[in-house]
Chains A and B, each alone.
Chain A
């Protein structure tokens, strides 16, 4: 986002925020308690905000992965049928046969943790504990050569993991395909 757009965005927000001071309130909705928010909020930011306390090692993750994940994703994360490969593809993103995996493509380790935590295993989404999630994430990152075999991940170390494709994303430049003047 360029500076001009940032300025317009900030100006818009400032105006809207000011307008809210006079906005009608309808006294509908009940206050969300801190406890309700704590229970429902599972979001994890790339800087680690929202990660629950917990930890898991590659060794623990190897065991959990075999029980929870290998049935669909294969013993070494190679994937099968509709179940995507979790390993490989590093160095292929410029080629005609780019292989996009967690290891080659995903820019943040927090995203891997969050996705596993929300959606895995496929048939029982959201059933993993934080510790199991840290462990499985550690093992998958190990399979990709991103962390070493002795690694332990927790809420402090996970956001510090540098993913290979961390700098691989750019903003939206469209419209990028301009076909010249319209015949009118």
Chain B
């Protein structure tokens, strides 16, 4: 199977050899000493996978997508983590940054980053997924590769202080029912979150896969709201207000609400439901001929652990159980794989998953029958890739 960058990589190898650069022919052993040490690592120059984003006249209010088809395992490299911003990426000096907790509390407090680093911490692996991820699939505009269809999904190890511990420091009043979390970005993006969830598993996170958060992911500190739509995971966290009602901010009324066929819109649809996608072989890739291929992909659920992933290589007529790679963690991405022999004929590949609540990922048609075509957020239908006779894999039936 050809990975997308292969042609260009082959070209680079040739070009480098011609120019007498450090690259060596793949069959050879270097005759010269290699490169010296470096203080902050970079990937091999042969690796070119990047985030994708379209041109925009409002680049500070836009997104970039993770190249899921190029990733291994379950952790997204921080440099490839998807982004959605509404007022750009602020540059925040952590020495000046503070998080204020106030509202229906006994002792409103302001925490510095040093305070947060000193408090008891945990590390948890969780996915983040934009509510709008793969929304184009719902309205019948399937995207051509995993990055473009499902790339508003990433998974990292997050380190920080449970929000519950910060609430223990300020003391909650009995009238507390919701919180409003607010970013320190230019637009001070704010979302209301029920106190029940805030006390359950929400983190005030400063670490991302072993180092400080990337600026695009909320440096120096953000909320992680496990399993819930990306937008409530407030980045650049500056303020948490404890309140008695949802504050009905723009992103929980005008946006991220799902308009149903009866004209009513669903609100506070926080959980990202069980979903999966085959990342190899997938659209944009090419099978080099009949024979063995390992099908692999990702499954995740905002309600807990993935208990089963299944693959169909015959247009959904039969489903086979795929192997789940360890670790299988709640509200995290789980990688599945399945051995497959391609006979050289036209076919299709699709996956579906089940989570620990026994919820089974639905087909697009089943979902659309209930939710119609006016809503495009929180879509979790099955994604189908079509394998053509020439080995090309695409999002379109031949």
**Which residues of A come within 8 Å of B, CB atoms?**
9, 12-14, 16-17, 20, 23-26, 28-32, 36-37, 40-47, 81-83, 93-94, 96, 98, 100, 102, 105-108, 110-111, 114-115, 118-119, 122, 125-126, 165, 168-180, 182-184
Which residues of B265-318 are within 8 A (CB) of A? Answer: 265-271, 273, 308, 310
Contact (Cβ within 8 A) A40 B366: no
Contact (Cβ within 8 A) A125 B172: no
A47: which B residues are within 8 A, CB to CB? 245
B119: which A residues are within 8 A, CB to CB? 26, 28
A28-B115, A172-B270 known; A94-B262 Cβ under 8 A: yes
For residue B375, which residue of chain A has the nearest CB?
A98
Shortest CB-to-CB span from A36 to chain B, Å, is: 7
Docked CA distance A118–B310 (Å): 45
Partner of A9, one of B182, B196, B308, B357: B196
A29-B115, A29-B169 known; A177-B308 Cβ under 8 A: no
Contact (Cβ within 8 A) B265 A105: yes
For residue B268, which residue of chain A has the nearest CB?
A172
A32: which B residues are within 8 A, CB to CB? 100-102, 108-110
| Inter-chain pairs besides A40-B239, A182-B308, 20 sampled, C-beta below 8 Å | A9-B194, A29-B109, A30-B110, A81-B57, A94-B261, A94-B263, A98-B374, A106-B250, A106-B253, A111-B249, A169-B257, A170-B264, A172-B267, A172-B268, A173-B266, A174-B378, A177-B366, A177-B367, A182-B354, A184-B308
Contact (Cβ within 8 A) A177 B254: no
Partner of A41, one of B102, B265, B267, B362: B102
A25-B168, A42-B188 known; A82-B199 Cβ under 8 A: no
Shortest CB-to-CB span from B116 to chain A, Å, is: 8
Contact (Cβ within 8 A) B360 A182: yes
Shortest CB-to-CB span from A17 to chain B, Å, is: 6
Docked CA distance A13–B57 (Å): 46
Shortest CB-to-CB span from B95 to chain A, Å, is: 15
A26: which B residues are within 8 A, CB to CB? 118-119, 169
Docked CA distance A115–B191 (Å): 12
Partner of A46, one of B186, B248, B262: B248
Contact (Cβ within 8 A) B100 A40: yes
List the 6 closest pairs (A to B, CB-CB), nearest first. A29-B109, A94-B263, A23-B168, A119-B187, A115-B250, A32-B108
Q: Quick one: which of B189, B238, B265 has the most chain A CB within 10 A?
A: B265
Contact (Cβ within 8 A) B270 A100: no
Name 22 A/B residue pairs within 8 A (Cβ), A-sorted: A13-B176, A13-B196, A25-B169, A28-B118, A29-B111, A41-B241, A43-B247, A45-B245, A45-B247, A46-B245, A98-B263, A98-B374, A111-B249, A114-B249, A119-B86, A168-B263, A170-B264, A177-B366, A178-B360, A178-B362, A179-B363, A179-B366
Is B143 engaged at the interface, CB distance under 8 Å to the other chain?
no
For residue B260, which residue of chain A has the nearest CB?
A170
Contact (Cβ within 8 A) A13 B169: no
Shortest CB-to-CB span from A6 to chain B, Å, is: 10
Interface string of B12-31 (1 = CB under 8 A from A): 00000000000000000000
Is B358 engaged at the interface, CB distance under 8 Å to the other chain?
yes
Q: Quick one: which of A20, A29, A93 has the most chain B CB within 10 A?
A: A29
Docked CA distance A175–B57 (Å): 37
Docked CA distance A102–B87 (Å): 19
Docked CA distance A115–B363 (Å): 36
Partner of B169, one of A28, A107, A111: A28
A165: which B residues are within 8 A, CB to CB? 265
Docked CA distance A25–B357 (Å): 36
Docked CA distance A41–B242 (Å): 12
Docked CA distance A169–B268 (Å): 10
Is B61 engaged at the interface, CB distance under 8 Å to the other chain?
yes
Partner of A168, one of B109, B261, B264, B270: B264
Is B359 engaged at the interface, CB distance under 8 Å to the other chain?
yes
Docked CA distance A165–B267 (Å): 13
A107: which B residues are within 8 A, CB to CB? 248, 253
Shortest CB-to-CB span from B185 to chain A, Å, is: 8
